[in-house]
Structure 1
Amino acid sequence: MPVNATGGGSSTELDRITISNVAKANHLYAHAIMAWVFLGFVMFTVARERLWLIGLRQAWTLSTPNAKRLSSRTVLFLSAPKEALEKSNMSRFFGDGAIRIWPITKSETLQTLLSQRDALVEKLESAEAVLIHKANSRKTRRTIDGRNSFRFSYSDIPDLVKRLIRLRSKPKVFPFGSLLDFRYSKKEDTIQSLRDEIKEKEELIEEMRRSHEIGEPHGAAAVFVEFKTQAEAQRASQQVASSNPLALMPRYTGVKPNEIIWDNLTLPPVRRVSQEGIANTIIILTIVFWSIPSGLVGTLSNISYLAENFEWLSFLNNLPDSVIGLLSGLLPPLLTSLLSKDVPIIFRITAVFSGAATVASQLAEHLQDPTSIPTLLARQLPKSSNYYLTYFIVQGTTSAADNILNYTTLLEYLSFEYLVDETPRQKFNRHTSMKGIAWGKVFPKFTNFAIIDTKGQAYTLALQHLLTGVYIAELALIGFFGLRKATGPSIMTGVLFFATILYNVLMDKYMSPLEKFLPADLVSSAEAHDETTPLLSDAEEGRGNRSTLVPSPVAEHVIKPTAQFFDPRAFTSYNYMKSWIRDEEDYDMDEQEVPEYTEEELERAYLHPALTSKTPVIWMPHDPMDASRNEIRESEECGLKATDEGAWLDERRIVHWDVHDFEKVPVWKKASKY
């Protein structure tokens, strides 16, 4: 800032401490040096964080509780040929370490039947809820003989009233049925009709499951393969399993059953590749075309120039300075914040457009002297960076409050809980299902701010995204120094640019495999040693305690963090990270259970849900009139399981379920730690 302020330019106010105020070429050496220092520090930090993540990922993944999980020994292979789906060919494709396979093929008809069955169950539960609600109304109670007034029950309700409170609907019309038949057909009992339809779907589903065979998938299949050990799974995921370049690719380790989007597993390889290309094209086009509204917003930051050069905006000159400052300083960042919230944009090029209004208005004046145009660009375009200062402030102060309040989800929860959800299952799902996050919109935005709260592979991707900012900064400086005809600073920054490219290539070449796969030597070593084996050698222990002769507060808060940051080789190794995890106060590795599985759990773990999904239990709330008991009996007579455990109707006829004891809820299932 002092260098900029004394740069010899004519800028005023905030612009005076920006690079646009530097007119003396020699002053730009300071910026070139700071580019080396600052951007070099950024690159060092990215490298250090990637090393740290590699060590942490290895230590966590190879810990006994994780290594013994089924998912750690299982590999997902996509685009599987028919031969790879047969158990007899398991060793041929996946080696002697493979012990079990789960083939996944298309089952669209079966999935459709399951969706229809589950929809019918939901309709039946809604109809039962309406019946129970009506049966407990005051109007229904008044129809009961006074002799039973001490204890009302559903059986005391007159038959005529029972028929009136039950939902009735027109029967389904066949395609060739006449309109007259539909108009005069007798209405059916809705509940009984739904029960019959569910049973029909059940029979069709079971028949299709019995006749289910693997046809010729033409690569539109996938296969999960379980191996004896985690080391075998890692080796299989890194080997070439087929001479066909598209077969059994890509492959993934550590996939849990509840993370799978089953429809995506059976995409043909050609379609998968083409869809990836189409998606990337759409993203690029979105970036390009969304720069138009972003650019229009950016021009508002130079509203005074617009008012001077566009006659229909001249009235803005009559506004008070405070209003103009508000419109040009606060409004553009607010609008940009709204755009970034509502549209999944990846990058914005507002910096160009923010100075575009000023530049465009002055270019016309300098067309007669083209040699002055570079000077004009060098003076005006850097001012656009002030726009981002305000944007960061607005985004930083508003997004946190917005995310904490999360008013849309809060209002949805409160309103749906009492106005929409009427069955115990709907209330249970509303209470227990976490709302998803649109990561495609949220993650890139906060990556730009270098604020990440994940420590998985997404963190590595975010670190790589940060290098985009490094490249843009270097190119912008090279262009600016060139416009200022500062040869020395231009050369220094050009060398930095090529050094960054070399750094990026080498980092990706040597680190990407470690970020994607687990080293075979570490996996084998981890399986050979137990959790009580000492992890750090004496030398490593010494590196971790270099500050023993320094006063404790200084060592703990200054020297140790500094050493850990600038010596990643010592403090990001597998052994050090595993020791760090084991010593963490909030996590006790010894308390983590090593999962054990029954044979049935193993057989069903990665089977397609269409082959294993059972008809949901009909869940209704218990009520004072015992109408639920009558409906349970009738449902079971039809061959459907039903219950009213864990849910009830209160005196105001509002449905509740036992939120304090999930194990009493019939739809709750204990999840296996796959």
Structure 2
Amino acid sequence: MNLENPNRLYAHVVVSWVFTVFVLYILWREHLYYINLRHVYLSQSGYYERRTSRTILITSIPEHCLSEKVFQKLFGHSFVQCWIPRASRRLRKLVKKREKKAQQLQDEAVAVINEGNRRRPSRLRSCLATFDWMRRTRSNEPDVENVTFFQRTAPTTKDVDIHSGVVQISSKERSIFDYELPSPAGRKVKSTRSDLHLLNQQISKLRLEYQAGQGKHMNAAFIEFDSFANAQAAFQSIPQHQPLQMCRQVMGVKPGEIVWSCLRMKWWERLLRQFVVAILIGGCIIVWIMPIALVEGYTSAPMVRKVPGVSELPQLAVNAISGLGRALLMWILLEFVPFLMRLCAKFAGVPTLTDIEHFVHKRYIIFQALQIFLGPMIRTRSITPTRSFLDYRFLHEEVPMASNLYMSYILVRCLSAGATELIQLWQLFLNMVQRKRPGTPRTTYKRVYELDVVHWGSVYPVMTTVGVIGKYLKQQRYQTSLTFRSH
């Protein structure tokens, strides 16, 4: 470099030192906060007294160990009891079918109720319209003029036997509550209710058979211990001397977080599936090279200048359009990768949803680094048989371009994620649309009380890739210095 005053480079060195120390301090402080928060959470009585906190899930158990006596002998006095799940495909299918029928019955019942409301007398609709209290201003005067109609049509029964569970309502008063209209919708409700009754009988029969011990055991077991400390000690131990058997243990998992179809896999089946998944992910990396290469080619600054109207803009605006367009298109291309990796994780036999996100996180971070950071350098035409990939001139030319592409992608992802999480445009749109058509009570309850699931496996790699690359390079540098230069 030809510089008039080379001493100015020391300013860049000092600024880089200050920035690095600041980042390391923030990471150290947040790490301490996380450790303290985790310690406080694990020390709360509401956590370590729960049964799930004292229960361990062990998978890949050999068939001769699927017995309560074996676990009692293995874990000793701290063992309380164990549950060995059984495979019941027919029961699982019937339960899913019953859930669909219940949802169908609720939809049909709501449709019949809405039809009955439309057929009500006009005087009732006028009375119901006055109860729109959320849109009216509140006052201290009671609304007594709208109570007479309901007092006249209310049940006249004085004494109600609540212990028998049956309340007799006269036929004159029953028409208000009868929603089974003589229409095709009402007949659908009756038919669906009868189908649901038959499904309940079949499921009850299969559950009795399941509780009686019928069905093949899965290669997994839930083991409960008498205390949280004993469960933690058993979790950190290796209960089987054979490799890949009883080696996958999960602690503190809830039933809703378990992928039940993965518990039946044996150790050799899980190993074979993991090998197939590794081949599939490698194939995805190769397949994704072509569309990303096309995005890089068509969003370059010379290609963007060929668009009508863009050539008249200054060079800074053209570069901004090129960088943002390339980052947005890459974002769209890479959005499908976490979904495919979650399917691969379930196919590989990952037992819990948390482990699935961890699986996606480890693979997706490598996928991003290969496609966005190393991909542009590998796909460039400057690599020839006479020019090595580790050539200094090649790295000097290509690494800054790849770094700019990667940093623009990271900035677009981070800024867009912050904006979308704060504004929540999609949720606002759904709320405005579904408020006019609320649907069934179940959908209304889910919309109000249930939160959206955050898939951390696809969120963390975007923010942590730069830190992981920097930490790896720093580790390699100090490892080389301590190993070779200190002797």
Same fold by TM-score greater than 0.5:
yes
CA shift, 1:233, in A, is: 0.9
Is 1:332–2:332 an aligned residue pair? no
What does 1:554-633 correspond to in 2, within 5 Å? none
Partner of 1:439: 456
Is 1:96–2:114 an aligned residue pair? no
Q: 1:384 to 1:264 in 2, by over 3 A?
A: closer
Q: 1:138 to 1:275 in 2, by over 3 A?
A: same
Of 341, 344, 350, which residue of structure 1 is paired with 2:372?
Answer: 350
What does 1:257-276 correspond to in 2, within 5 Å? 257-276=255-274
Is 1:498–2:473 an aligned residue pair? no
d(CA) in 2 for partners of 1:433, 1:423? 15
Is 1:321–2:314 an aligned residue pair? yes
Of 106, 109, 117, which residue of structure 1 is paired with 2:90?
Answer: 109
Of 445, 467, 478, which residue of structure 2 is paired with 1:428?
Answer: 445
Cα distance per residue 1:418-468 (max 9 Å; x no partner): 43x53222322332222222333222112236xxxxxxxxxxxxxxxx333
Aligned length: 406
Partner of 1:400: 418
Partner of 1:200: 198
Partner of 1:410: 428
| Structure 1 runs not aligned, ≥5 long | 1-6, 11-21, 143-147, 169-188, 450-465, 475-492, 503-674
Partner of 1:87: 68
Partner of 2:346: none
d(CA) in 2 for partners of 1:163, 1:329? 62
Report if the CA contact (8 A) 1:72-1:230 is conserved. Answer: yes
CA shift, 1:216, in A, is: 4.8
d(CA) in 2 for partners of 1:299, 1:190? 58
CA shift, 1:31, in A, is: 9.0
Q: 1:496 to 1:249 in 2, by over 3 A?
A: closer
SS of equivalent to 2:418:
helix
d(CA) in 2 for partners of 1:496, 1:40? 16
CA shift, 1:340, in A, is: 4.2
Report if the CA contact (8 A) 1:296-1:353 is conserved. Answer: no
Partner of 1:241: 239
Is 1:138–2:131 an aligned residue pair? no
What amino acid maps onto 1:350 in structure 2? I
Cα distance per residue 1:23-73 (max 9 Å; x no partner): x9x999999999999779878976786676556534532344432222222
SS of equivalent to 1:330:
helix
Larger Rg: 1
Report if the CA contact (8 A) 1:101-1:226 is conserved. Answer: yes
Of 50, 73, 80, which residue of structure 2 is paired with 1:69?
Answer: 50
Is 1:164–2:182 an aligned residue pair? yes
Of 60, 67, 70, which residue of structure 1 is paired with 2:41?
Answer: 60
TM-score w.r.t. length of structure 1: 0.50
SS of equivalent to 2:56:
strand
Partner of 1:654: none
d(CA) in 1 for partners of 2:222, 2:52? 10
Report if the CA contact (8 A) 1:76-1:223 is conserved. Answer: yes
d(CA) in 1 for partners of 2:304, 2:392? 24
Of 357, 381, 396, which residue of structure 2 is paired with 1:378?
Answer: 396
CA shift, 1:389, in A, is: 4.9
Report if the CA contact (8 A) 2:414-2:463 is conserved. Answer: no
What CA RMSD, in Å, does the superposition of the two structures yield over aligned residues? 4.7
Report if the CA contact (8 A) 1:78-1:221 is conserved. Answer: yes
Q: 1:280 to 1:39 in 2, by over 3 A?
A: farther
d(CA) in 2 for partners of 1:163, 1:49? 63
What amino acid maps onto 2:468 in structure 1? L
d(CA) in 1 for partners of 2:106, 2:452? 24
CA shift, 1:341, in A, is: 4.3
d(CA) in 2 for partners of 1:39, 1:292? 36
What amino acid maps onto 2:272 in structure 1? S
| Structure 2 runs not aligned, ≥5 long | 124-148, 155-171, 339-363
CA shift, 1:351, in A, is: 4.6
CA shift, 1:227, in A, is: 0.9
d(CA) in 2 for partners of 1:38, 1:374? 27
Of 2, 7, 12, which residue of structure 2 is paired with 1:8?
Answer: 2
Partner of 2:291: 293
What amino acid maps onto 2:225 in structure 1? F
Report if the CA contact (8 A) 1:307-1:315 is conserved. Answer: no
CA shift, 1:151, in A, is: 4.8
Q: 1:352 to 1:190 in 2, by over 3 A?
A: closer
Q: 1:399 to 1:227 in 2, by over 3 A?
A: closer
Of 190, 205, 209, which residue of structure 2 is paired with 1:211?
Answer: 209
What amino acid maps onto 1:333 in structure 2? A
Q: 1:401 to 1:417 in 2, by over 3 A?
A: same
What amino acid maps onto 1:467 in structure 2? V
What amino acid maps onto 2:87 in structure 1? K
CA shift, 1:229, in A, is: 1.3
What amino acid maps onto 2:222 in structure 1? F
d(CA) in 2 for partners of 1:429, 1:122? 13
d(CA) in 2 for partners of 1:216, 1:162? 44
CA shift, 1:500, in A, is: 9.3
Q: 1:276 to 1:163 in 2, by over 3 A?
A: same
What amino acid maps onto 2:183 in structure 1? I
